[in-house]
Protein backbone atom coordinates (compact mmCIF):
# COMPACT_ATOMS: atom_id res chain seq x y z
CA UNK A 1 0.00 0.00 0.00
CA UNK A 2 1.26 3.49 -0.87
CA UNK A 3 0.79 5.80 2.07
CA UNK A 4 -0.17 9.14 0.49
CA UNK A 5 0.46 11.97 0.92
CA UNK A 6 4.22 11.43 0.73
CA UNK A 7 6.07 13.84 3.01
CA UNK A 8 9.03 15.66 1.49
CA UNK A 9 11.34 18.59 2.18
CA UNK A 10 12.33 21.49 -0.04
CA UNK A 11 15.74 23.17 -0.24
CA UNK A 12 16.43 26.57 -1.81
CA UNK A 13 13.67 28.97 -0.84
CA UNK A 14 13.49 31.47 -3.69
CA UNK A 15 10.60 32.26 -6.04
CA UNK A 16 10.41 28.79 -7.55
CA UNK A 17 10.19 27.07 -4.18
CA UNK A 18 7.08 29.14 -3.51
CA UNK A 19 5.59 28.19 -6.90
CA UNK A 20 6.10 24.47 -6.21
CA UNK A 21 4.87 24.75 -2.63
CA UNK A 22 1.64 26.33 -3.88
CA UNK A 23 1.31 23.49 -6.40
CA UNK A 24 1.90 20.86 -3.72
CA UNK A 25 -0.92 22.37 -1.65
CA UNK A 26 -3.31 21.30 -4.45
CA UNK A 27 -2.13 17.67 -4.35
CA UNK A 28 -3.34 14.83 -2.17
CA UNK A 29 -0.25 12.75 -3.04
CA UNK A 30 2.58 14.94 -1.75
CA UNK A 31 3.05 17.25 1.21
CA UNK A 32 5.99 19.60 1.81
CA UNK A 33 6.61 19.51 5.56
CA UNK A 34 10.14 20.92 5.95
CA UNK A 35 12.23 23.60 4.26
CA UNK A 36 15.80 24.86 4.31
CA UNK A 37 17.85 27.76 3.00
CA UNK A 38 21.28 28.92 4.11
CA UNK A 39 19.69 32.34 4.66
CA UNK A 40 17.99 32.64 8.04
CA UNK A 41 15.96 35.54 6.64
CA UNK A 42 14.66 33.40 3.76
CA UNK A 43 13.83 30.55 6.12
CA UNK A 44 11.75 32.83 8.32
CA UNK A 45 10.00 34.50 5.39
CA UNK A 46 9.21 31.18 3.71
CA UNK A 47 7.79 29.68 6.90
CA UNK A 48 5.62 32.75 7.46
CA UNK A 49 4.33 32.85 3.87
CA UNK A 50 3.74 29.12 3.29
CA UNK A 51 3.30 27.67 6.77
CA UNK A 52 6.07 25.13 6.08
CA UNK A 53 8.44 24.94 9.08
CA UNK A 54 12.11 25.61 8.33
CA UNK A 55 14.97 23.40 9.47
CA UNK A 56 17.96 25.24 11.02
CA UNK A 57 20.44 23.34 8.82
CA UNK A 58 20.64 20.74 6.07
CA UNK A 59 21.67 17.98 8.46
CA UNK A 60 18.54 18.45 10.54
CA UNK A 61 16.32 18.33 7.47
CA UNK A 62 17.94 15.16 6.13
CA UNK A 63 17.76 13.49 9.54
CA UNK A 64 13.97 13.86 9.57
CA UNK A 65 12.67 10.27 9.32
CA UNK A 66 9.29 11.46 7.99
CA UNK A 67 10.80 12.73 4.76
CA UNK A 68 10.87 10.29 1.85
CA UNK A 69 12.34 12.78 -0.62
CA UNK A 70 13.70 16.28 -1.08
CA UNK A 71 12.88 18.89 -3.73
CA UNK A 72 15.88 20.97 -4.85
CA UNK A 73 15.22 24.48 -6.16
CA UNK A 74 18.78 25.71 -5.70
CA UNK A 75 20.94 27.37 -8.41
CA UNK A 76 21.95 24.99 -11.19
CA UNK A 77 25.60 24.64 -10.15
CA UNK A 78 24.47 23.41 -6.72
CA UNK A 79 22.32 20.56 -8.06
CA UNK A 80 25.04 17.88 -7.89
CA UNK A 81 26.41 18.55 -4.38
CA UNK A 82 22.91 18.96 -2.95
CA UNK A 83 21.55 15.89 -4.76
CA UNK A 84 24.48 13.85 -3.46
CA UNK A 85 23.75 14.91 0.11
CA UNK A 86 20.09 13.95 -0.29
CA UNK A 87 20.88 10.61 -1.93
CA UNK A 88 23.47 9.71 0.72
CA UNK A 89 20.75 10.16 3.35
CA UNK A 90 18.65 7.56 1.52
CA UNK A 91 16.00 10.02 0.36
CA UNK A 92 14.68 10.37 -3.17
CA UNK A 93 15.77 13.37 -5.23
CA UNK A 94 13.74 15.89 -7.19
CA UNK A 95 15.82 18.51 -8.96
CA UNK A 96 14.43 21.40 -10.91
CA UNK A 97 15.43 21.56 -14.56
CA UNK A 98 18.08 21.48 -15.88
CA UNK A 99 19.26 18.36 -14.11
CA UNK A 100 22.60 20.14 -13.67
CA UNK A 101 24.64 23.05 -14.94
CA UNK A 102 26.90 20.71 -16.95
CA UNK A 103 26.39 17.35 -18.61
CA UNK A 104 29.18 15.89 -16.45
CA UNK A 105 27.28 16.85 -13.31
CA UNK A 106 24.04 15.58 -14.82
CA UNK A 107 25.53 12.16 -15.51
CA UNK A 108 26.91 12.06 -11.97
CA UNK A 109 23.44 12.83 -10.61
CA UNK A 110 22.00 10.00 -12.71
CA UNK A 111 24.61 7.65 -11.21
CA UNK A 112 23.30 8.42 -7.70
CA UNK A 113 20.33 6.15 -8.39
CA UNK A 114 22.49 3.03 -8.59
CA UNK A 115 25.00 4.16 -5.98
CA UNK A 116 22.48 4.91 -3.24
CA UNK A 117 19.35 3.05 -4.33
CA UNK A 118 17.22 6.18 -4.72
CA UNK A 119 15.27 7.69 -7.61
CA UNK A 120 16.04 10.98 -9.37
CA UNK A 121 13.15 13.02 -10.80
CA UNK A 122 13.86 16.03 -13.04
CA UNK A 123 11.34 18.86 -13.26
CA UNK A 124 10.82 19.11 -17.00
CA UNK A 125 7.20 20.12 -16.45
CA UNK A 126 6.47 21.59 -19.91
CA UNK A 127 5.88 18.13 -21.41
CA UNK A 128 3.04 17.72 -18.88
CA UNK A 129 0.95 20.64 -20.15
CA UNK A 130 -2.45 19.56 -21.43
CA UNK A 131 -1.80 20.85 -24.94
CA UNK A 132 1.47 18.93 -25.27
CA UNK A 133 -0.17 15.72 -24.02
CA UNK A 134 -3.00 16.08 -26.55
CA UNK A 135 -0.53 16.62 -29.41
CA UNK A 136 1.28 13.43 -28.38
CA UNK A 137 -2.02 11.52 -28.32
CA UNK A 138 -2.87 12.72 -31.85
CA UNK A 139 0.59 11.74 -33.10
CA UNK A 140 0.33 8.27 -31.53
CA UNK A 141 -3.18 7.78 -32.91
CA UNK A 142 -1.96 8.62 -36.43
CA UNK A 143 -4.23 11.63 -36.86
CA UNK A 144 -1.37 13.79 -38.16
CA UNK A 145 0.04 11.11 -40.45
CA UNK A 146 3.80 10.88 -40.64
CA UNK A 147 5.30 13.72 -38.63
CA UNK A 148 8.22 15.22 -40.54
CA UNK A 149 8.80 18.64 -38.98
CA UNK A 150 8.39 20.38 -35.62
CA UNK A 151 9.09 23.88 -34.41
CA UNK A 152 9.02 25.50 -30.99
CA UNK A 153 9.79 28.81 -29.36
CA UNK A 154 10.24 29.84 -25.74
CA UNK A 155 11.19 33.47 -25.26
CA UNK A 156 10.97 36.24 -22.69
CA UNK A 157 12.57 39.57 -21.73
CA UNK A 158 14.99 38.28 -19.07
CA UNK A 159 18.17 39.60 -20.77
CA UNK A 160 16.86 43.16 -20.47
CA UNK A 161 16.78 42.79 -16.68
CA UNK A 162 20.13 41.13 -16.00
CA UNK A 163 22.75 42.70 -13.74
CA UNK A 164 26.15 41.41 -12.55
CA UNK A 165 24.40 40.50 -9.26
CA UNK A 166 22.22 37.88 -11.03
CA UNK A 167 23.66 34.44 -11.74
CA UNK A 168 22.16 34.34 -15.24
CA UNK A 169 24.59 37.13 -16.24
CA UNK A 170 27.52 34.67 -16.34
CA UNK A 171 28.44 32.12 -19.02
CA UNK A 172 29.56 29.48 -16.54
CA UNK A 173 26.26 29.64 -14.61
CA UNK A 174 23.81 30.08 -17.51
CA UNK A 175 25.57 28.58 -20.57
CA UNK A 176 24.14 30.05 -23.75
CA UNK A 177 21.72 32.29 -21.84
CA UNK A 178 18.21 31.40 -23.09
CA UNK A 179 19.63 28.23 -24.65
CA UNK A 180 20.08 26.59 -21.23
CA UNK A 181 17.36 28.50 -19.41
CA UNK A 182 14.42 28.47 -21.84
CA UNK A 183 15.14 26.46 -25.00
CA UNK A 184 16.00 23.45 -22.82
CA UNK A 185 12.30 23.15 -21.99
CA UNK A 186 11.50 22.84 -25.68
CA UNK A 187 14.35 20.40 -26.29
CA UNK A 188 12.68 18.10 -23.77
CA UNK A 189 9.21 18.70 -25.29
CA UNK A 190 10.40 17.85 -28.80
CA UNK A 191 12.30 14.83 -27.47
CA UNK A 192 9.00 13.69 -25.90
CA UNK A 193 6.99 14.34 -29.07
CA UNK A 194 9.54 13.27 -31.67
CA UNK A 195 11.75 10.61 -30.12
CA UNK A 196 15.52 10.29 -30.19
CA UNK A 197 17.43 13.41 -31.22
CA UNK A 198 20.43 12.47 -33.36
CA UNK A 199 22.23 15.72 -34.12
CA UNK A 200 22.10 19.46 -33.51
CA UNK A 201 23.33 22.65 -35.16
CA UNK A 202 22.92 26.13 -33.74
CA UNK A 203 23.67 29.84 -33.96
CA UNK A 204 23.47 32.60 -31.34
CA UNK A 205 23.84 36.32 -30.91
CA UNK A 206 24.15 38.96 -28.18
CA UNK A 207 21.82 41.96 -28.64
CA UNK A 208 20.70 43.05 -25.19
CA UNK A 209 22.07 46.48 -24.20
CA UNK A 210 22.85 45.46 -20.59
CA UNK A 211 26.23 43.89 -21.42
CA UNK A 212 25.87 40.44 -19.83
CA UNK A 213 28.40 37.70 -20.62
CA UNK A 214 25.79 35.37 -22.07
CA UNK A 215 24.28 35.33 -25.55
CA UNK A 216 20.63 36.35 -25.56
CA UNK A 217 19.36 34.99 -28.91
CA UNK A 218 19.54 31.38 -30.08
CA UNK A 219 18.30 29.27 -33.00
CA UNK A 220 18.84 25.51 -32.92
CA UNK A 221 18.10 22.91 -35.60
CA UNK A 222 17.43 19.32 -34.59
CA UNK A 223 17.61 16.15 -36.69
CA UNK A 224 15.87 13.12 -35.21
CA UNK A 225 16.91 9.49 -35.52
CA UNK A 226 13.94 8.73 -37.79
CA UNK A 227 14.75 11.59 -40.17
CA UNK A 228 12.31 14.25 -39.04
CA UNK A 229 13.71 17.72 -38.45
CA UNK A 230 12.88 20.46 -35.98
CA UNK A 231 13.71 23.95 -34.86
CA UNK A 232 13.81 25.63 -31.42
CA UNK A 233 14.11 29.39 -31.10
CA UNK A 234 14.68 31.40 -27.97
CA UNK A 235 14.87 35.19 -27.70
CA UNK A 236 15.73 36.74 -24.33
CA UNK A 237 14.77 40.30 -25.30
CA UNK A 238 11.07 40.02 -26.18
CA UNK A 239 7.67 39.59 -24.55
CA UNK A 240 7.10 36.07 -23.28
CA UNK A 241 5.89 33.28 -25.53
CA UNK A 242 5.75 29.47 -25.39
CA UNK A 243 4.58 27.83 -28.61
CA UNK A 244 4.89 24.42 -30.30
CA UNK A 245 3.87 23.42 -33.81
CA UNK A 246 3.93 19.90 -35.28
CA UNK A 247 3.60 19.16 -39.01
CA UNK A 248 2.43 15.80 -40.38
CA UNK A 249 1.31 14.45 -43.75
CA UNK A 250 -2.36 14.54 -42.72
CA UNK A 251 -2.42 17.63 -40.57
CA UNK A 252 -0.63 20.09 -38.35
CA UNK A 253 -1.18 21.16 -34.75
CA UNK A 254 -0.37 24.43 -33.04
CA UNK A 255 -0.24 25.02 -29.27
CA UNK A 256 0.46 28.34 -27.60
CA UNK A 257 0.06 29.46 -24.01
CA UNK A 258 -0.30 32.85 -22.39
CA UNK A 259 3.17 33.22 -20.89
CA UNK A 260 1.78 35.51 -18.20
CA UNK A 261 0.14 32.48 -16.55
CA UNK A 262 3.29 30.29 -16.48
CA UNK A 263 3.51 30.48 -12.68
CA UNK A 264 -0.20 29.61 -12.33
CA UNK A 265 -0.56 26.62 -14.67
CA UNK A 266 -4.02 25.72 -13.34
CA UNK A 267 -5.21 28.78 -15.28
CA UNK A 268 -3.38 27.98 -18.54
CA UNK A 269 -6.40 26.37 -20.19
CA UNK A 270 -8.41 29.60 -19.94
CA UNK A 271 -6.13 31.56 -22.30
CA UNK A 272 -4.16 28.94 -24.29
CA UNK A 273 -4.71 28.02 -27.93
CA UNK A 274 -4.67 24.53 -29.44
CA UNK A 275 -5.85 23.72 -32.94
CA UNK A 276 -5.51 21.07 -35.62
CA UNK A 277 -5.53 21.88 -39.34
CA UNK A 278 -6.28 18.87 -41.51
CA UNK A 279 -5.47 17.82 -45.07
CA UNK A 280 -5.65 20.64 -47.59
CA UNK A 281 -7.83 22.81 -45.38
CA UNK A 282 -6.67 26.35 -44.89
CA UNK A 283 -6.12 28.14 -41.62
CA UNK A 284 -9.72 29.36 -41.62
CA UNK A 285 -10.95 25.75 -41.39
CA UNK A 286 -8.75 24.79 -38.45
CA UNK A 287 -10.43 22.85 -35.64
CA UNK A 288 -10.06 24.45 -32.23
CA UNK A 289 -9.52 21.90 -29.46
CA UNK A 290 -10.87 22.76 -26.03
CA UNK A 291 -8.17 22.40 -23.42
CA UNK A 292 -9.04 20.69 -20.13
CA UNK A 293 -7.86 22.15 -16.81
CA UNK A 294 -4.42 20.90 -15.83
CA UNK A 295 -1.49 21.83 -13.59
CA UNK A 296 1.94 20.80 -14.83
CA UNK A 297 3.65 21.58 -11.53
CA UNK A 298 1.17 19.58 -9.47
CA UNK A 299 1.49 16.75 -12.02
CA UNK A 300 5.29 16.63 -11.77
CA UNK A 301 5.14 16.66 -7.97
CA UNK A 302 2.60 13.83 -8.04
CA UNK A 303 5.06 11.88 -10.21
CA UNK A 304 7.80 12.58 -7.66
CA UNK A 305 5.52 11.32 -4.89
CA UNK A 306 5.00 8.10 -6.84
CA UNK A 307 8.76 7.74 -7.27
CA UNK A 308 9.25 8.22 -3.52
CA UNK A 309 6.62 5.55 -2.87
CA UNK A 310 7.85 2.99 -5.42
CA UNK A 311 11.50 3.85 -6.07
CA UNK A 312 10.76 4.06 -9.80
CA UNK A 313 10.65 7.16 -12.04
CA UNK A 314 8.10 7.32 -14.84
CA UNK A 315 9.10 9.80 -17.54
CA UNK A 316 10.75 12.71 -15.73
CA UNK A 317 13.94 10.66 -15.65
CA UNK A 318 17.56 11.59 -15.16
CA UNK A 319 18.19 10.18 -18.66
CA UNK A 320 15.66 12.49 -20.28
CA UNK A 321 17.02 15.38 -18.24
CA UNK A 322 20.52 14.62 -19.49
CA UNK A 323 19.38 14.38 -23.12
CA UNK A 324 18.07 17.95 -22.83
CA UNK A 325 21.40 19.12 -21.36
CA UNK A 326 23.31 17.20 -24.05
CA UNK A 327 21.34 19.09 -26.72
CA UNK A 328 22.32 22.36 -25.02
CA UNK A 329 26.01 21.41 -25.04
CA UNK A 330 25.83 20.13 -28.60
CA UNK A 331 24.31 23.49 -29.57
CA UNK A 332 27.02 25.39 -27.69
CA UNK A 333 29.74 23.42 -29.49
CA UNK A 334 27.98 23.99 -32.81
CA UNK A 335 27.93 27.75 -32.13
CA UNK A 336 31.68 27.64 -31.47
CA UNK A 337 32.15 25.83 -34.80
CA UNK A 338 30.03 28.22 -36.90
CA UNK A 339 26.95 26.00 -37.03
CA UNK A 340 28.63 22.64 -37.68
CA UNK A 341 26.25 19.76 -36.83
CA UNK A 342 27.09 17.86 -33.64
CA UNK A 343 25.93 14.32 -32.86
CA UNK A 344 24.28 13.87 -29.46
CA UNK A 345 25.76 10.39 -29.03
CA UNK A 346 29.25 11.85 -29.45
CA UNK A 347 28.61 14.56 -26.85
CA UNK A 348 27.37 12.00 -24.30
CA UNK A 349 30.17 9.51 -25.04
CA UNK A 350 32.89 12.14 -24.73
CA UNK A 351 31.42 13.43 -21.47
CA UNK A 352 31.19 9.94 -19.97
CA UNK A 353 34.85 9.40 -20.83
CA UNK A 354 35.78 12.38 -18.62
CA UNK A 355 34.01 11.01 -15.55
CA-wise closest residue to 294 among 3, 23, 12, 4: 23
Percent of the chain residues topping a pLDDT of 90: 92
**pLDDT the model gives residue 263:** 82
Residue 42: how many other CB atoms lie within 10 Å: 17
Cβ–Cβ < 8 Å for 97, 316: no
Give me the residues paired with residue 223 across strands: 199, 229
Give the mean pLDDT of 110-139: 97
Give me the residues paired with residue 149 across strands: 229, 247
Q: Are strands 273-278 and 287-288 parallel, antiparallel or unpaired?
A: antiparallel
The pLDDT of residue 272 is above 70: yes
Give the mean pLDDT of 32-47: 96
**pLDDT the model gives residue 355:** 85
Angstrom distance (rounded) from CA 206 to CA 188: 24
**pLDDT the model gives residue 78:** 94
pLDDT digits (tens, 9 = 90+) for 201-215: 999 999 999 999 999
Name the pLDDT band for 249 (thresholds 50, 70, 90).
very high
**pLDDT the model gives residue 262:** 81
Domains of the chain by residue range: 6-125+298-327, 127-294
**pLDDT the model gives residue 246:** 98
* CATH class assigned to 6-125+298-327: alpha beta
Q: Which helix (H) or strand (E) holds 108?
A: helix 103-116
Angstrom distance (rounded) from CA 289 to CA 252: 13
Number of H helices, E strands in the chain: 11, 14
Contacts of 350 (CB under 8 A, 6+ apart): none
Alpha carbon 80 to chain centroid distance?
16
**pLDDT the model gives residue 8:** 98
Cβ–Cβ < 8 Å for 148, 246: no
Residue 203: how many other CB atoms lie within 10 Å: 15
pLDDT digits (tens, 9 = 90+) for 12-23: 999 999 999 999
Average pLDDT, the chain: 95
The pLDDT of residue 150 is above 60: yes
pLDDT digits (tens, 9 = 90+) for 79-101: 999 999 999 999 999 999 999 98
The pLDDT of residue 172 is above 90: no
Domain 127-294 grouped into CATH 3.30.360.10: yes
Angstrom distance (rounded) from CA 133 to CA 139: 10
**pLDDT the model gives residue 260:** 80
Range with lowest mean pLDDT among 147-156, 165-174, 215-224, 227-236: 165-174
**pLDDT the model gives residue 151:** 98
pLDDT digits (tens, 9 = 90+) for 317-349: 999 999 999 999 999 999 999 999 999 999 999
Give the mean pLDDT of 171-189: 94
The pLDDT of residue 173 is above 90: no
Angstrom distance (rounded) from CA 79 to CA 95: 7
pTM of the prediction? 0.95
Is the bond preceding residue 98 a cis peptide, omega within 30 degrees? yes
pLDDT digits (tens, 9 = 90+) for 290-325: 999 999 999 999 999 999 999 999 899 999 999 999
Give the mean pLDDT of 215-241: 97
Tell me whether the CATH fold assigned to 6-125+298-327 matches the one assigned to 127-294. Answer: no
Amino acid sequence: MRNYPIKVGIVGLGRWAKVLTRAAANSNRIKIVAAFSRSEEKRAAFAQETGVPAAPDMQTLLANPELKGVILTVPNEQHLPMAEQVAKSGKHVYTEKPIANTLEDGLRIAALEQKYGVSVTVGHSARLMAGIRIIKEKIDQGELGRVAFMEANFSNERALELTPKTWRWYKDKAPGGPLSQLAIHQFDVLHYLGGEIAEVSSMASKLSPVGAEVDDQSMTLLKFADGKVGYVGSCWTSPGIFAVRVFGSKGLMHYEIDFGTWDTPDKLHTTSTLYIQRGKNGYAKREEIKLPPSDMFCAELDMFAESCATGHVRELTAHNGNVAVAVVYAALRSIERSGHAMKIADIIRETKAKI
